[in-house]
A = this chain, B = another copy of it.
Amino acid sequence: MARPTPLSGFPEWLPAGRIVEQHVLDTLRRTFELNGFAGIETRAVEPLSELLRKGETSKEVYVLRRLQAEADEAAVVDDSSLGLHFDLTVPFARYVLENAGQLSFPFRRYQIQKVWRGERPQEGRFREFYQADIDAVGAGELPFHVEVELPLVMAEALAALPIPPVRILVNNRKVAEGFYRGIGLDDVDAVLRSIDKLDRVGPEVAADFLQQEAGASAEQARACLALAGISGSDARIAEAVTRLAREFGATSELLETGLAELVALVEAAAAVAPGVLVADLRIARGLDYYTGSVYETVLVGHESLGSICSGGRYDELATDGANTYPGVGLSIGVSRLVSRLLGENLVRASRSVPSAVLVAVTSEDTRAASTRVAGSLRARGIPVEVAPNAAKFGKQIRHADRRGIPFVWFPGAEGAPDEVKDIRSGDQVPADAAAWEPPSADLWPAVTAGEA
């Protein structure tokens, strides 16, 4: 086998990078659990029919076939074929329907798993990546306050990470739909798709899109762009939208409801986490299943990364005809975030192995004594490894140094006490394996903001 090369779009980390990723995943999980979300995992595959039912990424599905399938069988891709999930929302909706009889509603779950998208490789596009989702779904109904709570849980989770501050941008589908219909534009999805492109293409091209794709007049396009220009974090956004609606002769009960929700959301959020949530009427979210609040999140100073945490309220995603489970959910694109953190050296791990201590081996004859020291330290929760061979101590210390292990332990010969050396300072002191503890900051690898 020749030396293998990486596969584009399938990120892998060296051990120190994985410590950073694991720290991010652990921190998210802890915040989700502190907020009472139950963890679930779903299988990696769904029937193709499910994957193609909703969402705009349907083209990017990886379809599976068994290598040993008959030729006939292998050539056919039909509804019963299995594909890898491209997000965690579609599988979650299926899980809720499948297990509705055994779940208690409202059901709040988090889910941290990899997803796959069969895109052609291109810069910054991953074909395999971690998502970390939270959703709350009700049976038949779900109160509005969940639309306030969930983005704040995400804000809390993101604030616990060693990353720059985030800003969560929120809009409300009822505002958008009420306004668009109010000014006479009924193909709401087409308008949303055009507005969703605004950041990338600029207002002039977006106006063209609105006229060509959504059937807008120049005047209507101008109204849509004016709406998209409104942002703020208090009741003045409602006044601005209402003024604009009047200017274009739009009145709509849906618009009123949406504005009330949007203001309630930003005001409640401002009381808990000032400055984190901002209403921004440019936020469209391409997916057609959102029906209330929608969210996107930017990393301040890294806006080019795009939204790192998105979601919204959906009312019809999980329904089996007889029962419907409305929900609110947000999803963090973890791999893209971690890739940026590592790529720009924004975050680093203090070492590449868990071990706080390397126990030196004086000679292979006394390896058992070193193993006993390791067992004694480990029994008290100290991560430790034993030197792989009885090389000269200088070489054993270099072994620790290369991995960032801060302490080397020397078992005492013939009744002499053991000693432990902090290889950063060179300090070496007598120590008892049944009692010694490293400083708590050294116990596990630390993940800290880097120097970028």
Binding site for B on A (CB under 8 A): 1-7, 10-15, 18-19, 21-22, 33-45, 47-48, 50, 53, 58-69, 74-75, 77, 82-84, 94-95, 97-100, 102-104, 106, 108-109, 114, 116, 118, 128, 138, 143, 145-146, 149, 268, 271-272, 319-321, 352-355, 364, 367-368, 371, 375, 378, 381-386, 388-389, 399, 402-403, 444
Contacts and interface: CB of A to CB of B under 8 A. Distances in A.
A431 to B, nearest CB: 18
Contacts of A384: 34-36
Given A18-B39, A63-B65, A63-B66, 14 more contacts: A2-B321, A4-B50, A10-B43, A11-B43, A14-B99, A34-B381, A34-B384, A36-B355, A36-B383, A44-B44, A59-B67, A60-B67, A65-B118, A108-B353
Nearest to A145: B367
A194 to B, nearest CB: 24
A293 B45 CA distance: 37
A15 B38 contact: yes
A41 B12 contact: yes
A256 to B, nearest CB: 20
A110 to B, nearest CB: 9
The count of identical subunits is: 2
B37 A354 contact: yes
A321 B99 contact: no
A94 B1 CA distance: 9
A433 to B, nearest CB: 14
Given A10-B45, A106-B388, A36 B353 contact: yes
A36 B385 contact: yes
A438 B44 CA distance: 37
A35 B40 CA distance: 28
Given A109-B15, A352-B104, A63 B64 contact: yes
A94 B115 CA distance: 22
A151 to B, nearest CB: 14
A77 B63 CA distance: 13
Contact of A64 (B62, B75, B268): B62
A77 B73 CA distance: 14
18 contacts: A3-B98, A4-B97, A7-B43, A10-B44, A15-B40, A33-B383, A36-B354, A36-B383, A43-B128, A59-B67, A59-B68, A62-B65, A64-B118, A65-B65, A66-B118, A74-B77, A104-B402, A143-B389
Contacts of A77: 67, 74
Given A2-B321, A60-B66, A106-B388, A43 B353 contact: no
A57 to B, nearest CB: 11
Nearest to A101: B3
Contacts of A352: 38, 104
A354 B109 CA distance: 10
B43 A12 contact: yes
The 10 A-B residue pairs with the shortest CB-CB distance, nearest first, are A36-B385, A66-B118, A36-B355, A10-B43, A33-B354, A15-B38, A61-B67, A62-B64, A4-B98, A38-B353
A34 B74 CA distance: 46
Contacts of A6: 98
A385 B67 CA distance: 47
Contacts of A36: 353-355, 383-385
Nearest to A444: B33
Contacts of A399: 104
B61 A41 contact: no
A375 to B, nearest CB: 7
A27 B34 CA distance: 20
Given A53-B1, A65-B65, A271 B99 contact: no
Q: Which of A65, A319, A402 has the most CB of B within 10 A?
A: A65
A388 B138 CA distance: 10
Contacts of A271: 368
Contacts of A40: 12-15, 18
Contact of A7 (B45, B62, B444): B45
